[in-house]
Copies of this chain bind each other. A is one copy, B any other.
Amino acid sequence: MVPLEAKHRSLLDYAFYPRHVAVIGASEQPVSFGYHYLKHLIDYGFGGEIYPVNPHKESVLDIKAYPRLADVPGDVDFVICCVSADMVLPLLDDCTVKNVKVMHLFTARLSETGRSQAIELEKEIQTKATRLGINLIGPNCMGVYSPDAGVSFAYGLPSEPGNVGVVFQSGGAATLMIQTAALRGIRFSKAVSYGNAIMIDESDIIDYLADDPKTEIIAAYFEGIKDGKKFIDSIRRAAQKKPVIAIKGGRGKAGTRAVSSHTAAIAGSSSIWKTAFNQFGVIQVRDLDEMTDLLVLFSGLQPVRGRRLGIIGGGGGKGVLAADLAEEAGLSVPPLSPSMRDQLKPILPAIWDWLSNPIDFSIWGDDAAKAGAVHHLFVESPDFDCIIMQVSDDNPMRDDWWVIVVQMEVDSIIEMFRRRAKPVVAVLSAARPGYDDLEDIRWRTIMQQRSRLTASKVPTFCSIREAVHALSKFVSYWEKDK
């Protein structure tokens, strides 16, 4: 059905690295997607030719416009179609005139509506595009984000590229995930939201990302699949080459119903997906937050080759709960070895015998030099495979002192992380202040230190529960690699 089997890689390159892009339905109305897509090309610095197509305008956003695609000078690599569904069939003829390789149909209200007329029209579009050799992304999707090329499907995505490739059936979910992950320092090589997938489907995009040298990790969200055999081949091959973190959307009754009205996909049995993912070494997660947590580890941390955690920082209750949650997540929190105790003795002569793992920082107060020495000891110890450093947000000091303690702890975390002697993960405050709470120096400090940790690329979590859950999956991945 998709005419690009053999050479889909070069074909998707026309979408990721186009030389000329036409926006059909380009507009100056700021609520229109014909405005958004054109604006994105301008804002994200697309370097090639931009052709707004609009029969009623001489120019759109100060760029010369053309009444029809056929009127554009020369060839066009990539078309972004924002007009309504009934205008797509004639547009396909224009595409052949301009040698268009790939067209993204933002255009929606087709089979996902469940209405017979719309389903029929979608089929006609598919048949005609196939016959003419125009490769479609969509319909009913957000399309392409390629920061290297200055192509984007949303506001607020990073313009700086990175190492995560995204293949998401839902563009809204992709936008949310990319924006949220960007706050945690993650950057992306490219992203495709592919919607109803009547031609270019999930497998084509996975194949591309698997071979893409700029993509080191793949993040995927599927609602249904178009071709099971093709999908299995693609995902298996991709997962052999790089980590694939995937969400299956539509796992239950209501989700399956929602999938059908969202992208007209057939959700399929949740247990089949799970089995397949497990078999191929795909890291399955349940939602965007869990996906982001894993991206933080995969894009920022060296492999963790064992389950023995050293947990530093925070007071007694926090340490107890950290130990519980770590073990419940399948990690281990071994006691301090005699050799560790021997090394602790000169640092903390009064309490070396009493300290344990997790190590309770509240016992010896806030001596920064000692804290640094203990950090070193943990990071250098062969007894641990990974170190979690909890910032002392439970420290009972007066605010001005507390700010200094937290600042010093974060200094030390950044230093330990940079040494790379061992995988180091930070945990900083589950609190979610509102804007008004920033008048309080505590919450302002937490947010300032979060910015520092992110800028230093330290994998940082907001709670020990999220940290150990993600770490456990991360370790499982590298265990398979043994």
Contact = CB atoms under 8 A, between A and B. Distances in A.
A398 B465 contact: no
Given A176-B393, A286-B324, A355-B261, A434 B463 contact: no
A142 B315 CA distance: 12
B436 A114 contact: no
A448 B462 contact: no
A431 interface: yes
A203 interface: no
Interface in A212-260: 221, 223, 247, 249-255, 257-259
Interface in A308-345: 314-321, 323-328, 332-335
A364 B312 CA distance: 50
Interface stretch (A78-86, A125-133, A166-174, A374-382): A166-174
Interface in A126-167: 142, 153-156
Interface string A170-191: 1111111001100110000000
Interface in A286-320: 286-289, 314-320
B286 A180 contact: no
Given A172-B314, A316-B172, A443-B183, A454 B435 contact: no
Contacts of A442: 156, 179
Interface string A426-462: 0001111111111010111001101111110000001
A448 B112 CA distance: 35
A324 B250 contact: yes
A113 interface: yes
Contacts of A184: 432
A358 B258 contact: yes
B433 A447 contact: yes
A362 interface: yes
Contacts of A463: 287, 289
Nearest to A366: B31
Q: Of residues A114, A179, A319, A397, which shows the largest number of chain B Cβ atoms within 10 Å of its Cβ?
A: A319
Contacts of A154: 396
B434 A183 contact: yes
Given A170-B316, A258-B323, A258-B358, 13 more contacts: A31-B397, A36-B398, A156-B399, A168-B317, A170-B318, A171-B317, A172-B362, A173-B394, A223-B320, A253-B327, A258-B320, A259-B320, A437-B451
19 contacts: A31-B366, A114-B353, A155-B399, A173-B316, A173-B317, A175-B394, A179-B442, A183-B431, A247-B321, A251-B324, A254-B332, A254-B333, A254-B357, A255-B321, A257-B335, A258-B358, A259-B320, A263-B316, A286-B328
Closest 9 CB pairs of A and B: A170-B317, A173-B317, A172-B315, A434-B451, A262-B316, A254-B333, A252-B327, A254-B323, A434-B450
